[in-house]
Chain A
Amino acid sequence: MGEYFGRLLPVLHVANLFDGPKVEGSLAYWFYRLPTWSWLLFETSQMALLATLAGASLAFLACFAAAANLAPRRWIYIATRRSLEVLRTIPDIVYALIFVWAFGVGPLAGILALGLHTVGALGKQFAEAVENADMGSWDGVRATGANWAQCVRFAILPQVLPNLVSFGLLRFEINVRGATVIGFVGAGGIGQELYTLISLNYYDEIGAILVLIVAAVSLIDVVSEQLRQAVIGRQVA
């Protein structure tokens, strides 16, 4: 075991660390396929972005029916809650395995798998944010003769929108992690490349790609964290 992980570490020589990609022991030699991998990572992050956007939109539509204070009927509330629960309990990889059959190999299956899982996860969080909203403004808007949709727009939405955006960004971070592995089952992104490399025991390249994945995920986390704090901060101010 230690031997396997030991081999993942690259052979680097301090003397020619910064030499060109032809010199053994240099960083450039280790990361010789950096352009390809960067592009794949970018593709992976954009898969996660699209999945999060699609999932968040559907979750947004579902969350008002899944909030106890706004659901028009009790049974609608319970039915929506249960459906969201089922959607988020099934792992995204299982969706991906099935969707690869239905939609073919490629990013589309992965995006749909991540998106469907996102609907369940975000739907619940959105609904809880809506349930915590102050209903006083709802009564106020209601008193002006607004209908249900207008009440949602002018009473609830201004209160909960920062929270929803924050939950969405958090889910985007999670989806980026998910998108890096969804390629293991043929659903697009950098996972496919990583799966091949690990199967073929290309030790140096596995190490390099893992470093890249960790770096990219950390970078996205940091940026998203800043965005989240900006969004939440605006609510407080």
Chain B
Amino acid sequence: MTENSARDIARLQAQIPRAFRASLGVRLLRWFVGLAALSWIVVLLWWFDITPARIAGGLSGLAKIVVLMIPPSPGAQWRAILNGLAESVAMAFLGTFVAMLLAVPLGFLGARNVVVNLLAHFAIRRIYDGFRGMDQLIWALAFVRAVGLGPLAGVLAICAAETAVMAKLFAEAIENADPKQIEGISSVGGNSLCRLRFGLLPQVLPVMLAQFLYQFESNVRSASILGVVGAGGIGLQIAERIKVRYWDEVLFIILLILVTVALIDYASARIRRRMIGI
């Protein structure tokens, strides 16, 4: 029995070798690509001076920091910490809200079924992409220079970065809308404004609302670090405490951020389910 099956396998292997292993060329190519990738990683490790000794040294430093972090303590300035946290959430909400208002018209502008000219569509979309290429922290740093330290710079940074993201998301939602309802409005004599208002908007509004909540969640996370460059919120508190090495308070702030983010995610998920069922 086993002899037979072994012979069968040998026979099949001779008949259809490709089913058992790739051809020599493909195997050589795989080896070559694998080796090239591996050697590039080695080059990168050498370039960035990543050696086991440095990693070990850093890890022992990190272990000391972690020991100093436990137990977490709110410290004497706990009011400032809570204040910063509230400021971060407020910055995220305001920035996202204003961005949504700006993104609605921009979303229509970027949708292929609204602006039909292909060249214009392409150009508008690339502009949105370009704005998205700049990280929020860059915006924050620039706005701190432009309007001074404080939460206003943070709100403007979130708003600037978020408008482009939401405009793109809204444009995609509008493109995915069902054209039949719009045709229905035209058939009863609605003009183009009516078509947008009664044919398109009811379809895309739930998607926009869901996107707003998602982006708000994501911006609460990023608003917690904008303070690192001076744009207000809890990031300033955490950066200052790291500078003076109050590690127990650093851990306290990190835990506080974790709890806040979890709470906001939970609340936002409930709102989404209640209002739109997704």
Contacts and interface: CB of A to CB of B under 8 A. Distances in A.
Contact of A98 (B137, B145, B156, B250): B250
A90 interface: yes
Contacts of A93: 137, 225, 228, 235
Contacts of A43: 47
A104 B238 contact: no
Nearest to A3: B146
A184 B58 contact: no
Contacts of B146: 1, 3-5
Contact of A90 (B55, B126, B235, B258): B258
Contacts of B194: none
B48 A213 contact: no
Given A94-B254, A103-B54, A108 B245 contact: no
A86 interface: yes
Interface in B8-60: 41, 44-45, 47-50, 54-55, 57-59
Nearest to B60: A102
B207 interface: no
Contacts, number: 118
A221 interface: yes
A181 B61 contact: no
A214 B258 contact: no
Given A1-B147, A101-B245, A181-B135, A221 B49 contact: no
B145 A218 contact: no
A214 B130 contact: yes
A4 B130 contact: no
Interface residues of A, number: 47
Interface stretch (A9-17, A70-78, A126-134, A193-201): A193-201
Interface in B114-139: 126, 129-130, 133-135, 137-138
B228 A184 contact: yes
Nearest to A92: B225
B203 to A, nearest CB: 27
A177 B133 contact: yes
A19 B138 CA distance: 31
Contact of B48 (A1, A4, A111): A111
Interface string B59-87: 10110010000000000000000000000
- Decide if the interface of chain B is mainly helix, strand, loop or mixed: helix
B67 to A, nearest CB: 12
B135 A178 contact: yes
Contacts of B94: none
Contact of A89 (B44, B141, B221): B221
17 contacts: A46-B48, A91-B221, A93-B235, A97-B238, A102-B59, A102-B61, A102-B65, A107-B48, A108-B48, A108-B50, A180-B135, A181-B137, A206-B142, A210-B138, A213-B133, A214-B133, A221-B133
Interface of B: 41, 44-45, 47-50, 54-55, 57-59, 61-62, 65, 126, 129-130, 133-135, 137-138, 141-143, 145-147, 156, 221-222, 224-225, 228-229, 235, 238-239, 242, 245, 250, 254, 257-258, 261-262
Interface of A: 1, 3-5, 8, 43, 46-47, 49-50, 53, 86, 89-91, 93-94, 97-99, 101-104, 106-108, 111-112, 177-178, 180-181, 184-185, 188, 194-195, 198, 201, 206, 210, 213-214, 217-218, 221
Name the 4 nearest CB pairs between A and B, nearest first: A103-B58, A4-B146, A217-B133, A102-B61
